[in-house]
Amino acid sequence: MDYIFRLPQPVRPKPTHRNFNIFPGHRHYIELPDNTGHDLANPDYAQQIGLVGAYRLELNASKIEAIDTSLNPMQCFIWDVDLLTPRMRQALRVYTDRAPATDYNQLTMLDISMATPDVRLIESLPTLTISPHFQLEWHTPAHASQLGIVQLVESTRTLQQANGNTVVLLDTEVDSNGPVLLLEDTLDRAVIKPVCGFQSQGERKRFEFSHTVSQTIPTELNGVATVSVSVLEKYTLYFMQNANPEQADRYIWVPVHLPVVWGWSMRVQQRYDGIWDIFRKKLIMPTPSTEAPALPRWQRNSLACRGTAQI
């Protein structure tokens, strides 16, 4: 039996005031009276009001650094302009060397769909596949920018054998440290994966993006026949932008849309005629979510969570 769940669509109201001289992902200087602003040294507090000292995305972990309050003037990066307090809006030094923008960069999801998962032959091996599909519109009225994605996953993949053994193929829950960065294979070294080309200021483009997930199903492993393969996963996709990824001292990657969450729970086994087929299927359709952390955070990647069995 199939179970398909749709998460409720969140609504995030726009603030009544926006300053289009202040940009998310950009470095800004903070001008406060002497002997004030010490609370900004607490990264948790700074993050709550839309600021970070630095935000570094690495294969093994993401890192949020504190604002150095010993500098004069202090400097920070804005990760969410809508969280800025009135005090901080006045304290941030704005850019005066260019005309104010008319709006912030915007990513609009025109449609999100997911084809029915299936088992197909890939390189002569039965393979379970699923592929969420996104139709997007990317508008950059504020500044030129690169659009990319960070993909996090919580996963348990197991293989049941004819002798009663259960083989762990992937398990991100061992240390209970939350989602991990998704890497496709040992050659995958990209934390951020571009979904389109670098876009100039003022452009508006529509394009499609698909994310395919698969699991190979071996007929046997170490000489023991496979009975079934089970996959239980939840993915969180973050669409991020960066005004210039080559200038890490001036710009950081920041979210440009709510995180998108989707998931699946599958069990694949052989039918009476020997064909591998899906015998349990539960889906969570891709949906923007306010429940997922607004900034992608991880302490490991999926390659570090693989089992010892090689398929």
Residues sharing a CB contact under 8 Å with residue 274, sequence separation 6 or more, in sequence order: none
Structural element, H or E, at residue 104:
none
20: confidence class by pLDDT, cuts 50, 70, 90: confident
What span, in angstroms and rounded, lies between the C-alpha atoms of 271 and 274?
A: 5
- Rounded CA-CA distance 54/249 in Å is 9
**Two tokens, residue 252:** 């950081």
Give the helix/strand (H/E) hosting 289: none
Per-residue pLDDT, 17? 58
217-246 burial code (b ≥16 CB/10 A, e <16): bbeebeeeebebbbbbbbbbbbbbbbbebe
Percent of the residues in the chain that have a pLDDT greater than 70, as a whole number = 92
User: Residue 296 pLDDT > 80, yes or no?
Assistant: yes
Rounded to a whole number of angstroms, the distance between the first and last alpha carbons of the chain is 28
Lowest mean pLDDT segment, chosen from 6-10, 26-30, 35-39, 117-121: 6-10
pLDDT for residue 253 is more than 70? yes
> What confidence category does residue 98 fall into, taking pLDDT thresholds of 50, 70 and 90?
low
Count of Cβ atoms closer than 10 Å to residue 128 Cβ: 23
Q: Return the domain boundaries, the chain.
A: 2-10+104-305, 27-91
Residue, of 42 and 35, whose pLDDT is higher: 42
Model confidence at 11: pLDDT above 60: no
Handedness of CA 171, 174, 176, 180 (dihedral sign): negative
Q: And the tokens for 296?
A: 């992608």
Is the pTM value of this prediction over 0.75?
Answer: yes
Q: What is the mean pLDDT of residues 92-120?
A: 87
Is the distance from CB of 175 to CB of 294 less than 8 angstroms? no
Question: Can you tell me the distance from the alpha carbon of 90 to that of 97, in angstroms, rounded to the nearest whole number?
Answer: 18
Instruction: Note the pLDDT of residue 94.
Output: 81
Residue 89, pLDDT above cutoff 70: yes
Q: Report the pLDDT value the prediction gives residue 228, as an integer from 0 to 100.
A: 97
> What is the pLDDT confidence band of residue 33, given thresholds at 50, 70 and 90?
confident
Inform me whether the pLDDT recorded for 35 exceeds 80.
no
Q: Print the SS3 string covering 38-62.
A: HHHHCHHHHHHCCEECEEEECCCCE
Range in 52-61, 90-99, 160-169, 286-295 with the lowest mean pLDDT: 90-99
Predicted pLDDT at 7: 47
Q: In what order do the strands lie in the sheet with 106-114?
A: 106-114, 132-139, 204-210
181-233 residue pLDDT tens: 999 888 989 999 999 999 999 999 999 999 999 999 999 999 999 999 999 99
| More confident site: 5 or 253 | 253
Contact 211, 184 (CB under 8 A): no
Select from 299, 303, 213 the least CA-distant residue to 262.
213
What is the number of alpha carbons within 13 Å of residue 285 lying toward its C-beta? 15
pLDDT at 1: 40
DSSP state of 89: H
Mean pLDDT, the chain, as a whole number? 91
Mean pLDDT of 91-97: 79
Token output for 67: 């604002």
* Among 144, 269, 159, residue whose Cα is nearest residue 224: 159
pLDDT greater than 50 at residue 45: yes
